[in-house]
Amino acid sequence: MQKERRVSPQTKKEDEVLDLALRPQSFSQYIGQEKIKKNISIIIEAAKKRKEACIEHILFYGGSGLGKTTLSYIVAKEMGSGIRVIAGPSIKKAGDLAAILTNLREGDVLFIDEIHRMNRVCEEMIYPAMEEFKLNLIIGNGPMARTMELKVPRFTLIGATTRLAFLSSPLRSRFGGTFRVENYKKNEIEEIIKRSSSLLDIKIKNDAVKLIASCSRFNPRVANRLLKRVRDFSEVEGNKTVSRKDAQEALSFLDIDEMGLESGDRKILQTLEEKFSGGPAGLHSLSIASSEEKETIIDIYEPYLVQIGFIKRTPRGRVITEKAKKHLKTIK
């Protein structure tokens, strides 16, 4: 069984309240992603000037916890529109989609989260709704079947996905704007941690903010979660202000090193170094040697290790880099 990972960007139960409390409400509170903010502001302003109720359909893609849902709510707010939120996997039948679309009000935003997991039949049904604001429903079956055309209020579809490649190209091409939500820079994550501290009424030293930021995998959700854990730790110690020492102790108690790696990540690196003399090692062999499932290596461990330049993927397999070897030495 997999150990609980505190640095995983996917939502956990404990994040739900935190996510809500800390979610920025406007572009001015939303830190970073300057290109997206600017582009969308222009799109909204232009639509307002033309007195159009809607903007073109928008797709956000990027890793978990980077702020796609947050952005979607902000876009609706900046447009002055209502928002209807629905999870892709919950749209299972044609009737589900018809009910959602026909219940929208003119100018609303329909936000479909995890849009790549929407049922394929519904996906095809949504094309005419996106293009011409109409739905073709098939009523009855066999020789008695007939189609009925339903009008749908003008709406803006905002889709969010962590897996752009899983989206069919006809659907992708129907979005007027596709935006990649990027990982944050270190100074942006520091700013996010400071903002969250002030919202949560946490007094924290600057060097503690920096340390949490460096462990956060450049991900706001992970940063907020770590901030909360560090604050709890510091409170139990009876400290009123979170110091770097508190942060250091809390993070080492949580087994997170200053690159944001946990024991599972380090095990992959150590396996590569010790059992494969640094590699290259094929996925299958690495999986057996580290007793981790192939999918877990690909989805959970590898993306960040590749991103920070600790693992290189070569045609012959995975190779550990000098940078990673140095890091392993420092934490031994």
Ligand X SMILES: Nc1ncnc2c1ncn2[C@@H]1O[C@H](COP(=O)(O)OP(=O)(O)OP(=O)(O)O)[C@@H](O)[C@H]1O
List active site positions: 68-69, 113, 162, 221
- What is the contact mask toward Mg ion in residues 41 to 70, using x (rule: CB under 5 A)? ----------------------------x-
Output 33 or 271, the one with its CB closest to ligand X.
33
Dihedral angle at the C-alpha atoms of 51, 54, 60, 65, nearest 10 degrees? Answer: 90
Output 76 or 192, the one with its CB closest to ligand X.
192
CB of 229 to ligand X, least distance (A): 15
Binds 229, which of ligand X, Mg ion, none (CB < 5 to 8 A, cut-off by type)? none
Binds 67, which of ligand X, Mg ion, none (CB < 5 to 8 A, cut-off by type)? ligand X
CB of 230 to ligand X, least distance (A): 16
C-alpha–C-alpha distance, residues 268 and 174, integer Å: 41
**Where does residue 215 rank: exposed (0-12), middle (13-18), buried (19+ CB within 10 A)?**
buried
In Å, what is the CA distance from 214 to each residue of 64, 89, 227?
18, 34, 12
CB of 113 to Mg ion, least distance (A): 5
Output 74 or 171, the one with its CB closest to ligand X.
74
**Where does residue 279 rank: exposed (0-12), middle (13-18), buried (19+ CB within 10 A)?**
buried
Find where tokens 């996510």 sit.
19
Contact 161, 115 (CB under 8 A): yes
Output 32 or 264, the one with its CB closest to ligand X.
32
Dihedral angle at the C-alpha atoms of 122, 125, 127, 133, nearest 10 degrees? Answer: -120
Binds 66, which of ligand X, Mg ion, none (CB < 5 to 8 A, cut-off by type)? ligand X
Find where tokens 């989609």 sit.
97
Interface positions with ligand X (CB under 6 A): 10-11, 19, 22-24, 30-33, 64-70, 162, 192, 220-221, 224
CB of 192 to Mg ion, least distance (A): 16
Closest residue to ligand X, judged by C-beta, is: 67
CB of 73 to Mg ion, least distance (A): 10
Binds 11, which of ligand X, Mg ion, none (CB < 5 to 8 A, cut-off by type)? ligand X
Output 221 or 266, the one with its CB closest to ligand X.
221
Nearest to 9 by CA among 244, 304, 256: 304
Q: According to CB under 5 A, which residues from 68 to 107 bind Mg ion?
A: 69
C-alpha–C-alpha distance, residues 285 and 310, integer Å: 19
Binds 37, which of ligand X, Mg ion, none (CB < 5 to 8 A, cut-off by type)? none
CB of 9 to ligand X, least distance (A): 7
Cis peptide, bond prior to residue 170, ω within 30 of zero? no
Q: According to CB under 5 A, which residues from 114 to 143 bind Mg ion?
A: none
Amino acid identity for residue 229 in this structure: R
Output 63 or 264, the one with its CB closest to ligand X.
63
Binds 6, which of ligand X, Mg ion, none (CB < 5 to 8 A, cut-off by type)? none
Residue 137 CB contacts under 8 Å (≥ 6 apart), including other chains: 94, 98, 147, 148, 149, 150
C-alpha–C-alpha distance, residues 129 and 136, integer Å: 9
C-alpha–C-alpha distance, residues 112 and 160, integer Å: 6
Q: Give the binding site for Mg ion (CB under 5 A).
A: 69
